[in-house]
Every structure is written in structure tokens, then in C-alpha cells.
Amino acid sequence: MEGFLEGIWHPLIDNEKCTNCGFCYNYCPKGVFEKNNQNIIVKNPADCVDGCHGCEWKCPGNAISFPKPITKEYVIKVIRWSKAKGRNVSKDFIKYALKNQIIQQDEVSKEMRD
Ligand code: SF4
Ligand code: SF4
């Protein structure tokens, strides 16, 4: 999602929860994470893909978050942005937003329809 929340979007690691399992380091295709001695750190935040949540959703320690909280407005913005670009909205993203009651199903349906 280039240009979306540019310069803001990057992962944060909660060191209290992180077990340094290395999953995010191996998973991220953009090289955002780095191994620093035995620790995993966010080395290249600017290379994170705006709107991507891959490492957050897959982190076994639930240790990754992003500086900008996901709001309903943000979900709607992503849907509209994706539609304008002719792209499918990530099913995982919508599932996550619904599960966490950030947005309701009828609101998602309305945005998808309009
Ligand atoms: S995947 Fe999660 S627990 Fe594992 S190193 Fe990354 S932040 Fe830490
Ligand atoms: S959100 Fe995506 S691009 Fe950003 S660090 Fe995680 S896996 Fe890499």
C-alpha cells in the first residue's frame, strides 16, 4: 500500500513479550528486522510496507504492534483505497477488524458495496 500512512507505519516490539524466537526476522520480506546479538530489533522501519500486518498477526508472542492504532476510520480508508486501486481488501485484515470490534459487518458491507 505505497503512500498510505507513509513514514508512520512500522512495527514496534514489546520486549516484555518478545521471546526472540526470530520468526518476524525470517518472515518479513522487507528486511525490517535485524538480529542484534541474541535480540530481534526493528532496524529498518522505513522499509515496512504501509498497511502490512503480516508479522503482527503471526508473532507467537503477540509482541508486535504499530504506532498508529487501527480505527474504524482507518479500516474504511483502507477499503476505499483498495477499491480505488482496483485491489482486493485483505480478508485477514477485515477479519481482524471485525474480531476486535473495530468496525461492524454491516459497515464493511456498505463500504464494499458503495
Ligand atoms: S516473532 Fe514476535 S516473539 Fe518472535 S522475535 Fe519477533 S517480535 Fe519477538
Ligand atoms: S508489517 Fe510486513 S513489511 Fe512491516 S515489518 Fe511486518 S512483515 Fe515486514
Q: Facing residues of 65 across strands?
A: 12
State the distance from the centre of ligand 1 to the C-alpha of 95, rounded, in angstroms. 22
Domains of the chain from N-terminus onward: 12-65 (3.30.70.20), 72-113 (no CATH)
Pocket mutation for ligand 1, best pick of 64, 65, 66 (most atoms within 8 Å of C-beta): 64
Whether ligand 1 lies within 6 angstroms of the CB of 8 is answered as no
Whether ligand 2 lies within 6 angstroms of the CB of 78 is answered as no
> Which atom belonging to ligand 1 lies closest to the Cα atom of 40?
5
Predicted local distance difference test score (pLDDT) of residue 103: 94
Residues 2-61: tens digit of each pLDDT: 344 445 678 999 999 999 999 999 999 999 999 988 899 999 887 888 788 999 999 999
Q: Note if the pTM is more than 0.85.
A: no
